[in-house]
Amino acid sequence: MQKKNNYCSFLLSLFGVALSFSLATLVLHGWPNFIPPTLSEPYIYAGDGLSMQWLAQRSIEGWIFENHRSGYPYGSNFYDYPMSDSGHFLLLKILGLVFGSASLAVNLHFLLSFSVTFLVTFLILKKFQIQESIAFGISLLFAFAPFHFARFFYGHILYTWYFSVPVFFYLGYKIASNKKIFNGLSLKKATILSMIFVALSSFGVYFAFFGSILLLTSGILGSIKIKKSTPFKASLGLTAGIFLGVLLNLMPNILEFHNNGRNQHVAQRSPIESEIYSLKVMHLIIPHPDHRIKQARDFSRNYKASFPLSNTVSSLGVIGILGLASIFIAVLFMAANREVDSTVRFTSIAFLVLLLFAIPGGLSTIFAIFVTPLIRGWDRISIFINFACLLTLAVILNNIFSQLRAKKYNVSLKYIAVIAVTATGIIDQTPSSYASILENSAANYRIDSGFIKEIEENSPPEAAIYQLPHIDFPEAPPKHQLHSYQLATGFINSKSLKWSFGGVKGREGDSFFKHLALQPASVQITELKKLGFHGVYIDKRGYPDGGLAIVQEFSMLLGEPSLTRSDGNVVFFTLSNPDPHE
């Protein structure tokens, strides 16, 4: 009987994995275009999404830290920007090598995040003794949290893999309840625990950091409960494991800082940013800005336009709000010394602590001032709060249905209720489709990729291309109509061409090209020929006059542009063209 139950559970989890993937493509493409989903063209091709395409391409060609095709001829050193995301880049590398495309790798990376989040959440909810039907529905709702799509279309692709959140809650609950995670730590179990640490540490420093707050909170709760330090020591041990995992991810950066000093121009943060990117309760309860109901969309967008410190990526959705209300009620019951389910007690305290850190002027501000301002995006803790709310609701539903079953009520009512709650939540948490955004991204991609292909076909193998205007990298403000990562499209869409863009600001190459871009075209051309550049790529959107003066200046020396992009925004000069004045 047990084997049969395990087999059924296995089939249910596989169905959920496939359903999550299919639903994600349905939301992206709309009906019936999601069968089959388009994967070859990037879903997001603007803003920070371009920087992720750039990093994905680098990981496929070697690794993210060094690449000879970016920042030519000085190289593109990315050690200055610390990231604890080796799990992401390893997956992107594997997908890119298997399918031969960075765009396809990024798209698949995003779609797989739904399946992985569902699967891990489903398994963790079962660990909490939640009935499978309820666990299935809640796992789908968590996988399709508004946070998921909102972060992706902000270009924050790496935050879509938040599968670690349920794991942190489970570990925290075990510690707070003074329960052993493993009964006896054999070599096999120690290996499993080490792998968990590495996984939790290699998919984003923010999730690892917020998870550590949760673990330490759990340790304090457990120690208070039994009046012994054992739970707190356990939480310290787990947190130390997470810290070591992050340290392992950052070791290349740390060694670079030790050998060559810290680049003071990159990843500089101010304590005030901890409040700019803080979390308000209102952020949790407003509808997401792409809601199916127009009034809900308008309310969210008007709020963002009218109120300070606003974000639109932290919405819980109506089902999550029910969980939030349940937490508030549970807190009142606890204050009145009434009996509360142990899991709900834990999620309620966890919610209060996480919110206390994330709110404007909260503990995050103290942390930023007295420890480090490098952790600044505290609104990202909303996905932890989202899980706390959904777990609370799952426990309540589980208890209700257990009582009904004991009283021999019709069990089929449970399945009807779960389906209704899940369907309502999914519809509320997602728009009808993101097809218009995808079509716009695909159109821009085709324009770019076609033009870059033309340059590559008309250039010698591994030719070097100089790009104008100069724009700092990374994290620079837009230059007129040119986004800070727009020049990365040359590298992203070519196979062998070398590009001047991508040298990290504060490094030798960045300083050289910044100075060179201020010189007359004649001086630039002379220097470029010495360095072996084959052509000049000018994006006219980066100039106040639409590039008229700079294009005219180069045309006087090199003749008319060899190539012009179909939208007219970019021109390409071949440096071997004869000087018309000679």
Q: What is the pLDDT of residues 233-247, one digit of tens each?
A: 889 988 998 999 999
Does 403 have pLDDT greater than 90?
A: no
Contact yes or no for 471/542 (Cβ under 8 A):
yes
Q: What does the pLDDT read at residue 184?
A: 58
* Mean pLDDT value across the chain: 90
Percent of the chain with pLDDT over 90: 71
Instruction: Report the run of H or E that residue 466 belongs to, with start and end.
Output: strand 464-468
Tally Cβ neighbours within 10 Å of residue 323. 27
Contact yes or no for 139/162 (Cβ under 8 A):
no
pLDDT digits (tens, 9 = 90+) for 17-26: 999 999 999 9
Does 40 have pLDDT greater than 80?
A: yes
CA 550 – CA 78 distance, rounded (Å) = 30
Does 419 have pLDDT greater than 80?
A: yes
Does 185 have pLDDT greater than 60?
A: no
> pLDDT-based confidence at 580, cuts 50/70/90?
very low
DSSP conformation class of 534: E
CA 407 – CA 142 distance, rounded (Å) = 30
CA 79 – CA 67 distance, rounded (Å) = 11
Q: Cis ω on the peptide bond leading into residue 36 (within 30° of 0)? A: yes
Contact yes or no for 315/287 (Cβ under 8 A):
yes
pLDDT digits (tens, 9 = 90+) for 500-512: 998 888 888 889 9
Residue indicated by tokens 């196979």: 495
How would you label 294-304 residue by residue, b for 16+ Cβ within 10 Å and e otherwise? eebbeebbebe
Tokens at 570, concatenated: 């970019």
Report the interhelical angle of 132-143 vs 317-335 (nearest 10°): 110
Assign 526 to helix, strand or coil: helix
Contact yes or no for 242/201 (Cβ under 8 A):
yes
Residue indicated by tokens 């925290």: 172
pLDDT digits (tens, 9 = 90+) for 70-120: 999 998 888 888 899 999 999 999 999 999 899 999 999 999 999 999 999
DSSP conformation class of 482: B
Cα–Cα nearest to 553, from 536, 531, 529: 536
Q: What does the pLDDT read at residue 264?
A: 79
Tokens at 359, concatenated: 């709110």
Does 166 have pLDDT greater than 90?
A: yes
pLDDT digits (tens, 9 = 90+) for 471-493: 998 888 899 999 989 999 999 99
Angstrom distances, CA of residue 448 to CA of 319, 412, 493:
42, 54, 8
Does 359 have pLDDT greater than 90?
A: yes
Instruction: Report the run of H or E that residue 571 belongs to, with start and end.
Output: strand 570-574
Arithmetic mean of pLDDT, 425-439: 92
Tokens at 302, concatenated: 């008007």
Q: What is the reported pTM? A: 0.93
CA 433 – CA 393 distance, rounded (Å) = 27
Per the model's pLDDT, the better-predicted residue between 402 and 25 turns out to be 25
Q: What does the pLDDT read at residue 9?
A: 83
pLDDT digits (tens, 9 = 90+) for 519-561: 999 999 999 999 999 999 999 999 999 999 999 999 999 999 9
Q: What does the pLDDT read at residue 269?
A: 85
DSSP conformation class of 574: E
CA 177 – CA 179 distance, rounded (Å) = 5
Does 578 have pLDDT greater than 50?
A: no
Angstrom distances, CA of residue 133 to CA of 18, 391, 499:
16, 14, 53
